[in-house]
Chain A
Amino acid sequence: MPGFHVRDHVDQALPASRHHRRLLLGLLLALLGLLAVALIVLRQPSVTVGPQQTVVTVNPKMGVHTRLTDEVEEWKIKRTLEMVREMGAPWIVEYFPWAYVEPDRPGQGQWEHSDMVIRHASAQGLQVIARLGFVPQWARPKDTSPLYLEEDNYAAFGDYVYQFVQRYGADVSHIIIWNEPNLSLEWGYRPVDPASYVEMLRVAYTRAKEANPAVQVLGGALAPTLAPPGSEWGMDDLHYLQAMYDAGAAPYFDILAAHAYGGKFPPDEPAAADAINFARTELLREVMVRNGDGAKPIMITEGGWNDHPRWTRAVRPGRRIEYTLAAYDKALTDWPWLEAVALWAFHYPAPARTYQDYFTFVTPDFQPKAIYLEAQRYAQGKEN
């Protein structure tokens, strides 16, 4: 009977369709399961921190300024810090921009990247000098640079300093407040203002000590410059430091951060008020002594020599090695008031394709330059 046949067909088709649906559902669940497993696996750290290391060196004042702010991949952060340790430098200066941690609002707390840097630096046995600055958009007027901070927002910056110091405790023993405030471009393209910087230092210092009384606060980090009085570009660093003391800075920093670029001159080129060279650091110290602050140490948190083949302030590569090693040695033997020399810059994430590339110790693909190998030999106490 035709009707029977139709009914028979439907009876057979229904279980088959149900079967397909079940099969599809099963496949979907299996796929979801696989996806969940993949997500869990991906969330696992792919780079291990590794065992605790120590830096072996004959010169405990050796240091470098790393450039990990723009380094995304964890293995590169680890490799950079491993290579610093293997070179024999116990100190690093690294930048921790406020705007990266709290990009949209106060208390946002995006600490993942800085946690990663500190974790690996600690594992490599490195002492971190953390440079703090770079203002998020919410803490400054529209169309201003991230280096622009008004006094009304010093308290918000102080909160960031407090959180940073509290979070990293003993892993970050030193912090630098701001960078090169004696240059207009580093002061948000405003006329520089030593008294206002001292107020920033006071707020930051107070908050840092609230978080960890043992943390050492570095002030200054002044750019060596011979800017004439009234220059729109900046203020002579020696004058600026005096102006800082005049504004009552002394109680609000434990160590002076200095920048010491050698230009074409050797590190033992005598210091002079009208010359920019490595020994200019001695003139900063004289200002400190004159202001009754001679017991306070100095740390060089930027500096060094450049061997670009065509930059007018560069030297030949061999001369750069010679001057760099002599500078590390000078810090150790001649300058008891100097605690560390962190030279600019260890490694860039990518080539800058400017003279800046010729400040580095290691190429972007982690090939050690000759200066790295010679600094390593020096740190191992081998004769050059």
Chain B
Amino acid sequence: MPRAKRTKLRQRWLVMAGVAVVLLLAVVLLLWQTVGIARDRVWDQIQTSGQWLVGMDPSFPPFEDLDDAGRPVGFDVDLARAIAAYWGVEAQIEGLGFDGLVDAVQAGRLDSAISALPYQPERTQDVAFSDPYCEAGLVLVAPVGSSAIVSLDALAGQRLAVEWGSEGDVQARLLRRRFPDLVLLPSDTPQAALLAVAEGQADAALVDHISALQFTANDARLAISPQVIVSDPYVIVLPRRAPVLQQKVGEALQALRADGTLDALTARWFGATQD
């Protein structure tokens, strides 16, 4: 065989060998990935022990608190129990300081944390977050039938009550740039701001959703705007390398939303439903 032809043949073999190695690596990677997804030690442990270890800081009613007997009670406690029941296991509540909850999940000391925790984009390399289960952001509250709860534009020339110094206050000051004739009425608490609306001293209030739910549950004169002005969703914190658990929590939340459990919990702890 001529030398040139031999060289060409050798080159062709080398190329084919290279392609084969790359393909082999791809298959190995794919298999590793698939096996990795199928394995979830946290979920396996929950299934084996029948216990889901959930951390929370029981000092934030109505989300989590301790009753007179020292037992954890609140929206998050009931949510943890409802999710666990959906899986056929028990939720074991572990009390821990608010600031240490995410780290405890990351370190594997907890299976999950449910404690009115916000989504933290800068921690997504450390832990995973569920879909939101509760919206605690800013909403407008106004008398039933008021245009203020339908459109922000209706706020022009209105009196808007806020809790002085709060995020609602900051947003109201920004709104005043858009509507210079908007009158801000600062109050000491969100409840005082809502009372000002109920008593006709203000046309609307810009407060957190939970305060709005609690107040409107007892005062049918006021309604909450369907539009969230600034979103602050609460989520469940989960281990990053627990893909099955993450999936199961998502499924459970969907099911509890669909069968009305979440609404029932909201009504129980906040006095009204979120919708």
How distant is the Cα of A350 from the Cα of B123 in the complex, in angstroms? 12
CB of A156, distance to nearest CB on chain B (Å): 35
Could you tell me how many residues of chain A have their Cβ less than 8 Å away from some Cβ of chain B?
Answer: 23
Whether the Cβ atoms of A369 and B99 lie closer than 8 Å is no
Q: Which chain B residues (59-83) contact chain A, with CB distance < 8 Å?
A: 59-60
Check A13 for interface membership: any CB of B closer than 8 A: no
Knowing A355-B99, A370-B165, A374-B165, the reply to whether A316 touches B188 (Cβ < 8 A) is yes
For A317, what are the chain B residues with a Cβ–Cβ distance below 8 Å?
Answer: 163-166, 169
Whether the Cβ atoms of B163 and A318 lie closer than 8 Å is yes
- List chain B positions with a Cβ less than 8 A from chain A: 57, 59-60, 98-99, 102, 116, 120, 122-123, 163-166, 169-170, 173, 186, 188-189
How distant is the Cα of A351 from the Cα of B122 in the complex, in angstroms? 9
User: Could you give, for residues 346-373 of chain A, a 1 whenever the CB lies within 8 Å of some chain B CB and a 0 otherwise?
Assistant: 0000110111000000000001111101
For A374, what are the chain B residues with a Cβ–Cβ distance below 8 Å?
Answer: 165
The 15 listed contacts between A and B (C-beta, < 8 Å) are: A307-B165, A310-B60, A310-B98, A310-B116, A316-B189, A317-B163, A318-B186, A318-B188, A320-B165, A321-B165, A353-B122, A368-B170, A369-B165, A370-B164, A370-B170
For A309, what are the chain B residues with a Cβ–Cβ distance below 8 Å?
Answer: 60
Whether the Cβ atoms of A353 and B165 lie closer than 8 Å is no
- List chain A positions with a Cβ less than 8 A from chain B: 307, 309-312, 316-321, 350-351, 353-355, 367-371, 373-374
CB of A254, distance to nearest CB on chain B (Å): 36
Knowing A317-B165, A353-B102, the reply to whether A367 touches B170 (Cβ < 8 A) is yes
Whether the Cβ atoms of B59 and A310 lie closer than 8 Å is yes
For B57, what are the chain A residues with a Cβ–Cβ distance below 8 Å?
Answer: 310
How distant is the Cα of A369 from the Cα of B166 in the complex, in angstroms? 8
Whether the Cβ atoms of B170 and A354 lie closer than 8 Å is no
- Known A310-B59, A371-B165; 8 more pairs at CB < 8 Å: A307-B165, A317-B163, A317-B169, A321-B165, A351-B122, A353-B123, A368-B170, A370-B165
The 7 closest A-B pairs by CB, nearest first: A317-B165, A318-B164, A354-B99, A318-B165, A370-B165, A310-B60, A370-B169
For B163, what are the chain A residues with a Cβ–Cβ distance below 8 Å?
Answer: 316-318
Knowing A310-B60, A312-B59, the reply to whether A321 touches B164 (Cβ < 8 A) is yes
The closest CB in chain A to the CB of B170 belongs to A370
The closest CB in chain A to the CB of B187 belongs to A318
Whether the Cβ atoms of A370 and B173 lie closer than 8 Å is yes
The closest CB in chain A to the CB of B162 belongs to A370
How distant is the Cα of A350 from the Cα of B122 in the complex, in angstroms? 9
For B59, what are the chain A residues with a Cβ–Cβ distance below 8 Å?
Answer: 310, 312
The closest CB in chain A to the CB of B186 belongs to A318
How distant is the Cα of A310 from the Cα of B117 in the complex, in angstroms? 11
The closest CB in chain B to the CB of A356 belongs to B99
The closest CB in chain B to the CB of A373 belongs to B173
Whether the Cβ atoms of B165 and A316 lie closer than 8 Å is yes
How distant is the Cα of A317 from the Cα of B163 in the complex, in angstroms? 8
For A307, what are the chain B residues with a Cβ–Cβ distance below 8 Å?
Answer: 165
CB of A16, distance to nearest CB on chain B (Å): 23
How distant is the Cα of A310 from the Cα of B116 in the complex, in angstroms? 10
Centre residue among B59, B99, B186 by max chain A CB count within 10 A: B99
The closest CB in chain A to the CB of B174 belongs to A367
For B169, what are the chain A residues with a Cβ–Cβ distance below 8 Å?
Answer: 317, 370
For A371, what are the chain B residues with a Cβ–Cβ distance below 8 Å?
Answer: 165
How distant is the Cα of A355 from the Cα of B99 in the complex, in angstroms? 7
The closest CB in chain B to the CB of A354 belongs to B99
CB of B64, distance to nearest CB on chain A (Å): 10
How distant is the Cα of A351 from the Cα of B163 in the complex, in angstroms? 23
For A319, what are the chain B residues with a Cβ–Cβ distance below 8 Å?
Answer: 165, 188
CB of B114, distance to nearest CB on chain A (Å): 14
For A311, what are the chain B residues with a Cβ–Cβ distance below 8 Å?
Answer: 98
For B166, what are the chain A residues with a Cβ–Cβ distance below 8 Å?
Answer: 317-318, 370
How distant is the Cα of A126 from the Cα of B165 in the complex, in angstroms? 26
CB of A89, distance to nearest CB on chain B (Å): 18
For A353, what are the chain B residues with a Cβ–Cβ distance below 8 Å?
Answer: 99, 102, 120, 122-123
CB of B183, distance to nearest CB on chain A (Å): 16
For B170, what are the chain A residues with a Cβ–Cβ distance below 8 Å?
Answer: 367-370
